[in-house]
């Protein structure tokens, strides 16, 4: 009988190689109970607490009243709340999530956390995020692509889930992440801006996906600076809890669209 792989040991070896002597302290910070939250509260509504890194990410998009905004992978809704608050009842926000269960959570968040006048500009959709560029090309001033990822902190806190982890899964996620990022770029107006973010700490899912975009869509995009805590990577900022007082993990990259981006992907 073929021996089952020891995914937990593989996981430790993989990230130990990536982070070297830093890995034990980073791992401990990822495993620790999260305490660095920001609470969004409107009069007469339920308060909503989200990791401060998520709030930083949503605000880095630079949304203002009148913008057309797309949140591609919106559930459970923390970043949507920040984006809707920035619109302040003017403009529109499409909050998309392909999962019916996650959309139910998103709908409840919008209904209970946001005042009616602010929630009125939010629409919930259930499309495949990777197809949004074809569905609504060049329709938005701002796009947030907070994509599905390895979520290593979640795996560490729930080690029974480590059986799902493997380097092959990272490679598969990178393909999906790029498809969503490219779709978000195609849905963005020329002159618009988007954020690509993950809660992954694997560089392939962060700078690696951005590098692929810069190659595939050369001339159509540029990387933009933004103020945020964390350590600079090649293309963005990586907020890690061992050096940012419990914030994160979160990778953030701000992208500007400077020309037509719609190309066939092979």
Please list the active-site residues. Answer: 199
- 3-state helix, strand, coil split of the chain in percent (to 5) is 45, 20, 35
For residue 64, give both structure tokens: 């203002």
Name the phi and psi angles at 104, rounded to 5.
-65, -40
Q: Please confirm whether the linkage preceding 249 is cis (ω < 30° from 0).
A: yes
Q: Please confirm whether the linkage preceding 2 is cis (ω < 30° from 0).
A: no
Q: Is 237 exposed, middle or buried (0-12, 13-18, 19+ CB in 10 A)?
A: buried
**Bridge partners of residue 199, in order along the sequence:** none
Q: How far is it, in rounded angstroms, from Cα 235 to Cα 223?
A: 7
For residue 71, give both structure tokens: 């949140």
Q: How far is it, in rounded angstroms, from Cα 47 to Cα 27?
A: 30
Helix or strand (DSSP H, E) at 144: strand 140-146
Helix or strand (DSSP H, E) at 95: strand 92-96
Closest CA to 76 of 57, 55, 50: 50
Q: At which residue do the structure tokens 């009616």 appear?
A: 116
């Amino acid at each position: 009988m073929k021996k089952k792989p020891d995914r937990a040991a593989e996981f430790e070896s993989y990230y130990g190689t990536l982070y070297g002597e830093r890995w034990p302290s980073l791992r401990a910070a990822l495993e620790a109970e999260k305490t660095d939250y920001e609470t969004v509260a409107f009069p007469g509504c339920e308060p909503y607490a989200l990791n401060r890194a998520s709030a930083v990410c949503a605000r880095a998009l630079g949304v203002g009243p009148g913008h057309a905004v797309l949140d591609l992978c919106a559930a459970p809704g923390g970043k949507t709340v920040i984006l809707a608050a920035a619109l302040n009842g003017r403009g529109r926000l499409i909050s998309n999530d392909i999962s019916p269960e996650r959309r139910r959570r998103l709908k409840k968040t919008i209904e209970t956390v946001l005042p009616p006048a602010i929630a009125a500009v939010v629409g919930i959709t259930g499309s495949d995020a990777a197809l949004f560029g074809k569905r609504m090309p060049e329709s938005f001033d701002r796009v947030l692509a907070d994509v599905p990822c390895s979520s290593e902190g979640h795996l560490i806190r729930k080690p029974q889930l480590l059986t799902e982890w493997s380097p092959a899964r990272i490679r598969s996620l990178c393909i999906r992440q790029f498809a969503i990022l490219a779709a978000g770029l195609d849905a963005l107006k020329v002159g618009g801006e988007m954020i690509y973010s993950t809660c992954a700490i694997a560089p392939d899912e962060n700078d690696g996906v951005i590098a692929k975009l810069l190659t595939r869509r050369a001339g159509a995009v540029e990387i933009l600076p933004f103020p945020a805590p964390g350590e600079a990577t090649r293309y963005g900022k990586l907020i890690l809890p061992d050096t940012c007082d419990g914030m994160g993990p979160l990778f953030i990259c701000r992208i500007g669209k400077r020309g037509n981006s719609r190309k066939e992907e092979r």
